């Protein structure tokens, strides 16, 4: 603070809110609230002291808080980010990877990649805006590619490559139009055979990779056929 009159001194009505340097007028905010700053010029030659006052409002600095929310999601799925602070808005660094609702913090995966979510709390009373950030990685769905292996007239074999993130596989199969056989978990095997077939039987397998919660793993289906008998030739 300053005055057009020199030679005076400054004082604060409440130093728990704001202090002021008596000579320079430098104010330091201590806590949120309002205090009155008084400038006093001492009278001489029998003249009384004169004062002038000016109020100052100290505003608490905003905080962006601590952010939370699942940082790994699959394409098309959602996660909700939140902050321990209130009153802020959310934004995404790359909406081609993930969008976020400015108010609710609902993140939606759009495409594979990584985006930064920023929570901004607007400062008031001369305080600057504050931000906090949290990244989200959007993962693609992964599915096994199944191939037909060695077949005979009574069996078929299915092979596949390991799926990234899978800790095991569940198998179900169907022979022609018969009932589905649910085999269940087969561990980390990368092959499965179905036997006791008749020549020409079609076997459809459904292979489901399994993994940790949140893994972007989906099933795939393939059909392989048992060999037909070779017709004998009379000689």
Q: What is the pLDDT of residue 183?
A: 96
User: What's residue 214's pLDDT?
Assistant: 72
Can you give the pLDDT at residue 28? 92
Residue 230 pLDDT greater than 80, yes or no = no
Give the pLDDT confidence of 13-55 residue by residue, as tens digits: 999 999 999 999 999 988 889 999 999 999 888 899 999 999 9
pTM here? 0.69
Kindly report each contact of residues 34-39 with a partner whose C-beta sits within 8 Å and lies 24 or more positions away, as own/partner.
34/58, 36/12, 37/1, 37/10, 37/11, 37/12, 37/13, 38/10, 38/11, 38/12, 38/13, 39/1, 39/3, 39/5, 39/8, 39/9, 39/10
> Which tens digit of pLDDT belongs to each residue from 95-144?
999 999 999 999 999 999 999 999 999 988 888 999 999 999 999 999 99
Q: CA 187, CA 162: separation in Å to the nearest integer?
A: 12
Question: Which pLDDT belongs to residue 74?
Answer: 93
CB-based burial label for 130 (10 Å; 0-12, 13-18, 19+): middle
Q: Is residue 155 predicted with pLDDT exceeding 90?
A: yes
Residue 231 has pLDDT above 80, yes or no: no
Kindly state the percentage of the chain with pLDDT values over 90. Answer: 82
What pLDDT, in 10s, does the model give residues 54-84? 999 998 888 899 999 999 999 999 999 999 9
* pLDDT attached to residue 21: 95
Asked if the model's pLDDT at residue 213 lies above 80, the reply is no
Average pLDDT over residues 184-210: 96
Instruction: Judge whether 207 and 217 are in contact, CB under 8 Å.
Output: no
């Amino acid at each position: 603070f300053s005055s057009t009159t020199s030679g005076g001194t400054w004082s604060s009505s409440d130093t728990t809110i704001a202090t002021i340097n008596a000579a320079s007028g430098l104010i330091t905010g201590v806590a949120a609230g309002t205090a009155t700053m008084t400038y006093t010029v001492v009278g001489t030659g029998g003249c009384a002291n004169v004062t002038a006052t000016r109020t100052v409002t100290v505003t608490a600095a905003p905080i962006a808080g601590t952010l939370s929310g699942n940082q790994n999601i699959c394409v098309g799925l959602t996660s909700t980010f939140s902050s321990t602070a209130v009153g802020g808005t959310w934004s995404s660094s790359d909406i081609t990877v993930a969008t976020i609702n400015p108010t609710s913090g609902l993140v939606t995966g759009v495409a594979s990649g990584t985006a930064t979510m920023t929570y901004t709390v607007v400062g008031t009373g001369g305080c600057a805006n504050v931000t906090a950030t949290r990244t989200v990685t959007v993962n693609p769905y992964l599915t096994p590619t199944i191939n037909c292996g060695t077949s005979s007239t009574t069996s078929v074999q299915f092979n596949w490559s390991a799926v990234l993130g899978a800790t095991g596989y569940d198998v179900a199969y169907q022979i022609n139009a018969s009932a589905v056989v649910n085999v269940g978990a087969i561990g980390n095997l990368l092959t499965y055979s179905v036997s006791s077939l008749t020549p020409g039987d079609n076997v459809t397998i459904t292979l489901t990779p399994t993994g940790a919660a949140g893994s972007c793993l989906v099933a795939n289906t393939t059909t392989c056929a048992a060999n037909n008998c070779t017709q004998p030739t009379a000689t």
